[in-house]
Amino acid sequence: MRRCRIMDVNQYQMTAASHRSTDHLALTDLPSVVVTHMLSYLTWEEKLSIIIAVPQWCSCLRSVAAWNCVEYGNEMDENVYFLKEKRTKFLFCIKQYGKYMRSLKLSFGGKLSHMAVKITHAISEFCPHLTAFHIAQEVPFQVDESLVWRKSVVSGICGILQSCKLLSNVCICQPVIDWTESPDNNIILNIIQQGLAHKLTSLELNAESLWGHEGYLEFLKNFTHLKRLVTRRENITDEILLYLVEHKLEEVTLVQEEEIPLQQQEHLKEMFWTKVLSICPTFQIDMVLRYIMVIKDSFPAKMPLRRLILDDLVNIVTKGVLEHLVDNYKDCLQYFTYTNSLLENYETGDRRLPSSLVNMAMRCTKLRYLQYGFPLSSTSILLLARARQLEKLLIPAVEVSYEFDWQTDPDWSFEFVEWLKASGKSERALELAVSEMFGFKWRLSYDPFTLNEQLNTMYM
């Protein structure tokens, strides 16, 4: 009996060893087309790591299919001591596999130092088949002159635009430019002077992109192939924007963080938007309004408003203003945000606003995203969720009160009223009820994510 047990154990060990060997062979002997497909889902760092673990897969990286879209970024989350190492690894990746890359997105969080310049030069040399190129500067809360794009950076980027002949999709996002310095340090002026403006399809200019710039952005007329533009509201005019729309512009984001002089307020009114839509019926505009006063005149009719962000306004948004928004943009508004992210002053807002929000959800047929940062009852949230199948409803948990505070509508049944009361009695009951209506797991927000971070995520 003992001998049989020993034989059984030996047989089990041999079988287990055989299985381990088979598993190892199965991993390394996968068809190259399967391995390439698997590798295509990995980040560039993961790709470099996995070929160290499985050297047999190295040849599978020498394929266009393995490099669908290469994204380099998240530098602001990186320890400063490891940043140089990360850039060095990416430089190696470009030199080794650049000829297989077709789409490249770079986002630098720190100063564009010597290593960043070497990366841009390597792209122009080793990525001849690029069709899409995106470069962005992640902007920290405090920006100093060390982040200004210098001559070497400007030269490197222009080199990419010149060398990569197949480029059809180019975005420059949030370049840090001091317009009082030498033109050699100005990426915008260099692109224009070198005859490369037609290569840009997307341009995003923030406050740091326009340091020292005075007047309207007349230089934008050189970018006749722009499809998307993000810029400051105070620097744009009817003439400039209409010129771009007459060429290829399809969407614009206007950011306003200071009051505009009275004479400039005559731009972008109803007549202008009528002209825009006659040229490009699918045109869309996003607006970000912060630290200013908003009134009904801020929102003209015919404007094809897709996204509206209102944050830290001087005045509160009234029921009348919100209903004016709904009347004008019920057929186009997709995203609406109203927040008080600085929280410098406790503000409850117009107490009639919850009913207007529900009305917005009911009437705005394309509404997909709603963020509201002021006090709201659980009953209001339930009615919002019931009015529209939203993709995202973002409500801070600290702003929610669990109460039935609505006057009963004559059309509401007794069962519906009881459902509102039961579903709004606690956080758990509310989240379960909204999740059931949306068809996905919904939760109140405890995320300290600032609006600045959300805007960077949205537009970069």
Q: Which of 14, 40, 68 is the last residue of a domain?
A: 68
**Is residue 13 a part of any domain in this protein?**
no
- d(C-alpha 69, C-alpha 60), whole Å: 16
Helical spans, DSSP H, in 289-443: 319-329, 353-363, 378-387, 414-423, 427-438
**Is residue 61 a part of any domain in this protein?**
yes
**Is residue 33 a part of any domain in this protein?**
yes
Tally of structural domains, the chain: 2
Closest listed residue to residue 381, CA positions, set 318, 293, 312, 443: 443
What is the per-residue pLDDT across 179-212, written as a single tens digit (0 to 9) for each?
Answer: 999 999 999 999 999 999 999 999 999 999 999 9
**Is residue 199 a part of any domain in this protein?**
no
**Is residue 187 a part of any domain in this protein?**
no
Q: Which of 12, 40, 68 is the last residue of a domain?
A: 68
**Is residue 189 a part of any domain in this protein?**
no
Q: Which of 9, 43, 68 is the last residue of a domain?
A: 68
Residue 347: its pLDDT value, please?
A: 54
**Is residue 31 a part of any domain in this protein?**
yes
pTM of the predicted model as reported, rounded to 2 decimal places: 0.87
Q: 348 near 374, Cβ under 8 Å?
A: yes
Residue 5: its pLDDT value, please?
A: 38
What is the per-residue pLDDT across 266-281, written as a single tens digit (0 to 9) for each?
Answer: 889 999 999 999 999 9
103: amino acid identity, one letter: S
**Is residue 20 a part of any domain in this protein?**
no
**Interval 204-231 mean pLDDT:** 96
Please say whether the dihedral angle defined by the alpha carbons of residues 410, 412, 415 and 420, taken in this order, is positive or negative.
Answer: negative
Q: Does 65 score more than 80 pLDDT?
A: yes
Place of tokens 């430089």: 91
Convert 281-313 to b/e letters by CB count within 10 Å (16 or more is b).
eebbbbbbbbebebeeebbbebbbbbbbbbbbb
- Tell me the chain's radius of gyration from C-alpha atoms: 28
Task: Show the domain range for 42.
Answer: 26-68
- d(C-alpha 316, C-alpha 306), whole Å: 22
